[in-house]
Amino acid sequence: MNPGQTIFSQLMDFLPPPYEFRLCVQRYQGNYKIKSFSCWEQFLTLAFAQLTYRESLRDIEACLRAQPTKLYHMGIRSRISRNTLAHANGVRDWRIYADFAQVLIGVARDLYRDEPFGLELNQTVYALDATTIDLCLSLFPWAQFRRHKSAVKLHTLLDLRGSIPTVVIITGGQIHEVNILDELFWEAGAIYLLDRGYLDFRRLYRLHQCGAFFVTRAKKRFDCRRLFSQRVDKKTGLQCDQIVVLNNPIPKRGYPERIRRLRYYDTTSQKRLVFLTNNFVLPALTITKLYQRRWAVELFFRWIKQHLRIKAFYGTSENAVRTQVWIALSVYVLVAIVKKRLNLERSLHSILQILSVSLFEKIPILQALSQPECDEMNHGSSNQLFLFD
């Protein structure tokens, strides 16, 4: 790594080769009739905004114009103007950045392929869920959700090995989560952890026919007929392990085969949980522990909302919103790649915090990110007087 580069430039060196981005741009003619401020410069500018948590286009413009001598070597050759950036966000196809994010996701998944997630399983395990981002109806009328409110939903399929988002579908808030099952391609042999909102037996049967497995929770009025029960150790919290078929003719028509039903008592929440799965091989206790790992997708949503700029947007058009979300996800995946390639022990949040205040520094990025944590430093030689002795 060239120590003469800014940390921002060194960080961008972890991106895939430039031709990958050019392919994405050419696919949608992103640079057609563009004389200045290319799609690549737009990506770099919005990536900088995400890394430093800029609040507005004016904020981005002011910060980048304050460092004119360093922008050229960072890859930003054009003069930054909020009007130019607003126009680019509004008209340049968001799919350019969505496709490039998928390239990054492929790199990250290869790096985290053997990452443990708490259970010794050879299968790939995914967690599927959605989060809602509230918007102002007067500014975002295209995303109307309620009578007086707009919203967008991020439907995310998360690979639990490394918490890498493999599929992200951005819709208006009025789209129900279960409809996303029609847009997914199921990976044979993989395990999908689904919330009760995705309980649609016709769609789950399509997943079953693809050779994939699901683990979900049953609704309160789950009508079934028990075929036989398997022995369980009730000391573990398991109460039953049954093989059942559906009773109601309408869902039975959608899912005509057998389903495994597990009942588990959670001593922490003091609740009885009923799980449904089409996996008849894994131990019952493993199924319950698998579903507990579904919480990783909730933590992912909380992380990106707290540490990336996706709750407030730089533009009000649908294209601008989608562009900002996809570049934010690209930054998240890029930080995960840096953490793995540099073998850093720090959390993603800690890495992002350091990057946010040191992007213009010209020191090796490994040196910047390898400094000891504050609580690890030795404060024994401090000359500060103590108030209470």
Count up the domains in the chain and report the number: 1
Q: Give domain status of residue 44, yes or no.
A: yes
What's the full length of the chain, in residues?
A: 389
- How do the pLDDT tens digits run along the chain, 389 residues long? 455 789 999 999 999 999 999 999 999 999 988 888 999 999 999 999 999 999 999 999 999 999 888 888 888 988 899 999 999 999 999 999 999 999 999 999 999 998 988 888 889 999 999 999 999 999 999 998 988 899 999 999 999 999 999 999 999 999 999 999 999 999 999 999 999 999 999 999 999 999 999 999 998 888 899 999 999 988 899 999 999 999 999 999 999 999 999 999 988 888 899 999 999 999 999 999 999 999 999 999 999 999 999 999 999 999 999 999 999 999 999 999 999 999 999 999 999 999 999 999 999 999 999 876 654 444 444 455 444 44
Q: Which residues contact 193 (CB under 8 A, 6 or more apart)?
A: 125, 126, 127, 128, 214, 215, 216, 290, 291, 293, 294
Q: Give domain status of residue 379, yes or no.
A: no
pLDDT at 371: 73
Amino acid at 218: A
* Domain with 65 in it: 7-97+315-369
pLDDT at 157: 96
pLDDT at 23: 96
Alpha-carbon distance of 246 to 143, in angstroms, equals 38
CA angle 9, 14, 15 (to 5 degrees): 95
pLDDT at 375: 47
Q: Please, what is the angle between helix 318-341 and helix 39-52, to 10°?
A: 70
Q: What are phi and psi of 20, to 5 degrees?
A: -65, -40
pLDDT at 73: 84
pLDDT at 25: 96
Q: Give domain status of residue 326, yes or no.
A: yes
pLDDT at 383: 53
pLDDT at 87: 94
pLDDT at 319: 96
SS3 content of the chain, % helix, strand, coil (to 5): 45, 20, 40
Q: Give domain status of residue 54, yes or no.
A: yes
Tokens representing residue 81 in the block: 């103007």
Q: Give domain status of residue 341, yes or no.
A: yes
Contact (Cβ atoms closer than 8 angstroms) between residue 62 and residue 40 = no
Q: Tell me, what DSSP letter sits at residue 376?
A: G
pLDDT at 118: 84
Q: Give domain status of residue 245, yes or no.
A: no
Alpha-carbon distance of 98 to 329, in angstroms, equals 9
* SS3 category, 164: strand
Q: Give domain status of residue 58, yes or no.
A: yes
